[in-house]
Structure 1
Amino acid sequence: MIPGRLSDIQRLAWLRLARTETVGPVAFDHLLARYGTPERALSALPDLSRKGGRAVPLTLPPREAIERELEAGEKLGARLICGCEPDFPPRLAALDPPPPVLWALGRAELLSEPSIAIVGARIASAAGQRLARQLATDLGTAGYVVVSGMARGIDGAAHEGSLTTGAVAVLGGGVGDIYPPEHDRLHARLAAEGCVVSESAPDRRAQAKDFPRRNRVISGLSLGVVVVEAELKSGSLITARLAAEQGRDVFAVPGSPLDPRSKGTNDLIRQGAILCEGAEDVLRSLAGEARLRERDRAYEAEPPSDLDPDALRERVAALLSPTPVPRNDLIRAVAAPTSAVMAALVELSLAGRAEFLDGGLVARP
């Protein structure tokens, strides 16, 4: 489907396809690519499900239910942004696959600004909350929107520190679902001064299955994710893993080995996350990423005449060791275009001389 602003009829069909049972982001993306428009995809769905061996015929969401969702959003003052529209956040649009729809309450333009996520423990220490609040303030002063999940603890502190400079809250439930209840005033301020966003219908109450999707949007909106405190099994670590898979920087604040809330962040650092003791660590890394992007654009505009693919491949191989290293660090060390280094890594991987690992890491087998 050609990107552009949708009509009311097209918007209804788009949302109806996104809300159809068993149609997640992957299926939505495939159906749209195959049929061109959500209307054609909706028409084809019952036959497709029958051919696939579905025992019970697939029932499409009633048109009335979709109209009720649109009315609920309008009543709250929220906006529906569909994945093909020009104001859909560009970093989310670049995901494979992107979320089909977003509901935004407040300043939706913040979703396209350079942003950093700050996440962490719900039952956070006073020191952790103070650090998250200060990080958010400093990053906001440096020009970054701060994204978090409006949970208790670290999330709430991050929002408080960034309300005056740009704050985005991504919810598991709808944009009208205030959870935890004690964050009612925070929610009101975020809706008025920042932005509250969700993939879910505006009046949907959050369920456990909604939070992995919420975490994917948090990391997807951001250039990097800072984890302040997290136990070894926590949603914050899921957000960090998703960020690494999306090619985002992952930062972790170190802590005492005696505090269970530091186990997760210390383990992230052990796995290659960037150690973060303050905003300057985040800003330094982002400045390096920006220089890489500028250099790549210059290479693409005028490729260096002396770039020998065979020599580059061997330079990359020589820098690898059994100790995993972030791919971005390797690209910096080689000082060659990202696309060329990745091509070399793929060739080395096919030859058994390099191994791609989880979290954006690479090593010599």
Structure 2
Amino acid sequence: MSDFTTEQFEDNNRGFAQQRLERLLAGSGVAFNGPNPWDIQVFNPSFYKHVLINGSLGLGEAYMNEWWDCEQIDETINLILRTSLGESQKFLSNFATWAQAKLFNLQKRSRAFHVGKQHYDIGNELYVAMLDERMVYTCGYWARADNLEDAQKHKLDLVCRKIGLRKGMKILDIGCGWGSFAEFAAQQYGVEVVGITISKAQADLATERCRGLPIEIRLQDYRDVGSKFDAIVSLGMFEHVGHKNYRTYMDVARKCLKNNARFLLHTIGKNDSRPGADPWAVKYIFPNGEIPSLRQISAALEPYLIIEDVHNFGPDYDHTLMAWFNNFDNAWTKLKQNYAQKYSEQFYRMWKYYLHACAGGFRARHMQLWQIVISSSRNQNTYRRPE
């Protein structure tokens, strides 16, 4: 009879998983239990097997469960993604997530409000603490800014100038959030805005913040908009549309655009056109989320809409996310004290991981941030990007 115990079998399994992960990380500059602030400090030996089996889902869950930590999660992710390991996505992929996105329409009308309830409705107090004063939950524009407030102000003004806002125009804001763009455009450019969102918490606070301005906030899916507008903006909403609905989305935009009107699409982008998204982010942060590629966006526009301009300032999202984390971290003690039933220590680790991992993704140029100016193919005007 063999003296090989169950404990020894488990130890061997853990040893194999650790060795396999170490080989995968070789050349990335990231080590297990190393001296650098981006090295992964492992506290639970089950970490290795869990991550090897579950990829990026396992890595995020293990962090939430305090199985590992490090001083600079953002740099850990950056270094991993910059290697061939990150490019091949052997370490940060999940076949089930890809297959689900390929086979099913995860963002169909009946599922449209899921992300609102899970992500945007978790508590306005969280977003008030984390974001700038205008509550802009999209990438800031840091070309001439050294703080979050100015970066977001510059971004909003850049959007207004790109779509050529003039007093008296009526604008559609698809995915209006807490009303930041609508409020800015109405106050600074004298326009009327209709903002739509799938979050009740956003709609309620946006209505309150925009009271007294020519702004209408609707709790509405984009597929239910039918009016004509002088311009359309969509800032950070396209990531919830899904590749099976890109054509539908663009058809709605086309039908809502008046002749010679412009549509500005501000979206996170990815470098390839494979369906699906990071499984950890989909499970814990953005249910049914999917980041588009330029090819997917371009194909959805054909043949009735044309691209006038593509502006990529993805590295600015790194700065934005780290500024958001600093605000969140500074407010954490008060949030935990005042809303203990909502915000646990595990929530803190989840939210920290979300912000840092995304920052690392942008730093590695694994993700992009595009502002795309679009118009009807009937538009005869020449577009020039404002400086």
TM bucket by the smaller chain?
A: under 0.3
- TM-score, scaled to structure 2: 0.23
Of the two structures, which has the highest relative contact order with CA contacts closer than 8 Å and spacing of 6 or more? Answer: 2
